[in-house]
Amino acid sequence: MRTYFQCLPCFAKQAVNALPMIDEAAREDVMRDVMRALAEIDFATSPPQMAKIIFDIIKKRCGNRDFYAEAKKKSNAYVLESIDSFREMIDTSSDPFETALRLAIAGNVIDFGAKHDFSDHHIHDNIDSVLNAEIPKKQIEALRSAIDEAANILYLGDNAGEIVFDTLFIEQFPKGKTTFAVRGAPVINDVLMEDAEAVGMIKLVPVIDNGADVPGTVLSECSESFKKTFAKADLVISKGQGNYETLNDMEKHIFFLLKIKCDVVARDSGYPLNSFVVMPPKNGEAGGEK
């Protein structure tokens, strides 16, 4: 997906939201540098690629710290606190796969990029909404079959906190064929290996990092070993807007699970703003190497 003019205020807002986490003395320079970068933006690239440029500016000005580290720990801990009740919700439901899937999409609300007003309340509001959301049965069944039939599933993680719901969903998959991917370096609140460790994902499935620090999946930025795993996968499950924005034009057997968080992605995808989406592959077929 390309970047739209409407993304510019959102990039500026992402930078503003990061300001409290950096030295006060550096903030004005950061904002001026971000505005200069936005003036030179390449609209043909995807929004997460521009977000990476913005966070590079911020990191450079503040000693390359992972300034969302604390926030990510809190998000993980916050969702982990309720994991037993979520697991019970899944186990006692009439369709544990579907309930776990819906919860995994609800978890996508934990996003410090597109959503600027994250608070603890959102996740519980979203869980109520997602459990009752209209997600076409056909799309849920298509994903269920794809997971059953796939030989190599690559599951692309998105944000801290959300990854706890991903563990619950992956528990529903047939064993031994799923790999979970995290980002290769800090960017916003995107998942890293340490998050996969903190929430127990590493005990469930193999976890790899993609070698990049884009809040999405831009293959040209990723490590060779990640690219191999990606190519080998005959099913990719992509969580969140960042992965959608960077992969939606690709010929590949990808299901996108996300909440539509902005008008731009709503228009681009054709799904309504705030809807919870299980988006099947465009062409239905175009698997990985078998």
Judge contact between 208 and 160, C-beta under 8 A. no
Binds its own copies by CB under 8 A, chosen from 2, 16, 26, 250: 16
**31 vs 219 by CB, closer to its own copies:** 31
Nearest of 196, 115, 208 to residue 160 by alpha carbon: 196
168, 103 Cβ separation under 8 angstroms: yes
Q: Does 27 bind its own copies (CB under 8 A)?
A: yes
- CB of 3 or CB of 99, closer to its own copies: 3
Residue 25 or 39 having the CB closest to its own copies: 39
Closest distance to its own copies from the beta carbon of 93 (Å) = 37
Using CB under 8 A, which of 23, 42, 43, 249 touches its own copies? 43
Q: Does 60 bind its own copies (CB under 8 A)?
A: no
Return the range that interacts with its own copies (CB under 8 A); candidates 3-11, 175-183, 186-194, 208-216. 3-11
140 binds its own copies (CB under 8 A): no
In this chain, which of 2, 12, 83, 268 binds its own copies, going by CB under 8 A?
12
Nearer of residues 40 and 84 to its own copies, judged by Cβ: 40
26 binds its own copies (CB under 8 A): no
267 sits near its own copies (criterion: CB under 8 A): no
- Least distance in Å: CB of 126 to its own copies? 22
235/233 Cα distance (integer angstroms) = 5
The strand pairing partners of 239, in sequence order, are 257
Supply the DSSP string of 16-45, one letter for each residue: HHHGGGS-HHHHHHHHHHHHHHHHT--TTS
Minimum Å distance from CB 52 to its own copies? 18
Residue 38 or 193: the one with the smaller Cβ distance to its own copies is 38
Residue 177 is encoded by which pair of tokens?
Answer: 């064929």
Helices (H), the chain: 7-18, 24-39, 47-61, 69-81, 83-91, 96-106, 120-132, 137-149, 162-170, 193-198, 201-204, 224-232, 240-247, 263-269
Question: What whole-number distance in Å separates Cα of residue 221 and Cα of residue 36?
Answer: 23
Length of the chain counted residue by residue: 290
Q: Which residue has the tokens 């996968």?
A: 233
Among 9, 63, 174, 206, the residue binding its own copies under the rule CB under 8 A is: 9
End-to-end alpha carbon distance in the chain: 28
**131 sits near its own copies (criterion: CB under 8 A):** no
65 near its own copies, rule: CB under 8 A:
no
The site for its own copies (CB under 8 A) is made up of: 5-6, 8-10, 12-13, 15-16, 19, 27-28, 31-33, 35-36, 38-41, 43
